[in-house]
Amino acid sequence: MNAYRGPLIVIAFSLAGMAFSLTWGPPLQLEGLFEAWASITVAIVMQAVPFLVFGVLVSGAISAFVSQGLLRRITPRNDFLAVPAAASAGFLLPGCECASVPVAQSLIRRKVPEAAALTFLLASPAINPVVIVSTVVAFQGHPNMAAARVVASLFAAIAVGWAWVLVGHRVPMVGALARFGHSHSQGHSHGQAGASTWEAFRAAALHDLTSAGGFLTLGAMVAALIKVTVPGQWFETIGAYPLVSCVVMALLAVALSLCSEADAFIAASFTQISPAAQLVFLVVGPMVDIKLMAMQYGAWGRRFVARFAPLTFVAALFMGLAVGAVISP
């Protein structure tokens, strides 16, 4: 518990400060752009925190109480059929990005086909029930966004999985950490060896909350900064070029490395961007970002990341554009 005491104290004080500010006003009177930035940051974080907390609790429960052999038992032996089956399992076995790489490693060790395990890695954080509900709440004025996100993310995950069936055998999956004699998953808090299931649940939930909470706060701060400093005419300019705006939002998703349970509130805050560009942000983020690439490098090495990350980015961007063209007015 001592390892998590510091981050938990920071989170507790932050939430208490936000609640105080919303109830009695800010203790320091801010002016101008700084006041607007602080207000927008607090609003985004307060909207997203309940879904983030619920999401990490569900993810921790899955890590602690659901056997990772379950997916292996229900996965078809045929690689091409195993890919859509693994993608569909993301609806039933939700997980956060923090857990996705270690879980995929475990599935591969349990003889689940690599393509199926990687498909589950992409689909689970993107299409699980918590993400769907948070997207519905964030985009109350655009009810089709949640369905569009599920469809685009599911198709992108399956496309990457099928592509990996064809080319994956050419890519060695030997991680940087493995070359030093240990695995990333051995140091990860999910499913610690020798720990009780309740201890594993507590450790997994605390790890995900402290990690994802930091990225959420950073993402909210960046989104608020963009809203108060970037002129509205700039958004109108890139909005006139749909492809450019979608690529910009895709790159922003990669850079921010947000938790999928909360990223919908960040995307919804960009009100001057088209629904298609917002959708691209939601599809790309859970599948490829800086945090995930770092974890994948540790698990499977540089050559894997050099091939898998661009493949995933292109598939997610393309599916987001295709489905976004349907939902955009």
- 8-state DSSP, 329: -
DSSP-derived letter for residue 219 is H
Q: What is the pLDDT of residue 184?
A: 42
Instruction: Tell me which of 10 and 232 has the higher pLDDT.
Output: 232
> Do 296 and 102 form a contact (C-beta atoms < 8 A)?
no
Question: Over the stretch 133-152, which tens digit does the pLDDT of each residue have?
Answer: 999 999 998 889 999 999 99
Q: Please give the span between the terminal C-alpha atoms of the chain, in angstroms, as a whole number.
A: 51
What confidence score (pLDDT) does residue 111 get? Answer: 79
> How far apart are alpha carbons 148 and 240 in whole angstroms?
22
Predicted pLDDT at 181: 44
- Going from N- to C-terminal start, the domains of the chain cover 47-327
pLDDT of residue 185: 43
260 contacts 131 by C-beta, under 8 angstroms? yes
Answer with the residue of higher pLDDT: 203 or 3. Answer: 203
| Between residues 70 and 90, the one the model is more confident about | 90
pLDDT digits (tens, 9 = 90+) for 193-219: 445 778 877 777 777 677 667 766 777
Phi, psi dihedrals of residue 198, rounded to the nearest 5°: -70, -35
In this predicted model, what pLDDT tens digit does every residue of 112-137 receive, in sequence order?
889 999 999 999 989 988 899 999 99
Q: Where are the alpha helices (DSSP H) in the chain?
A: 2-24, 32-65, 69-74, 79-92, 97-109, 114-127, 129-138, 144-167, 184-187, 197-229, 232-239, 242-256, 263-269, 275-284, 290-300, 302-327
Specify the pLDDT at position 159: 98
Q: Which of 114-123, 254-263, 282-291, 302-311 has the lowest mean pLDDT?
A: 254-263
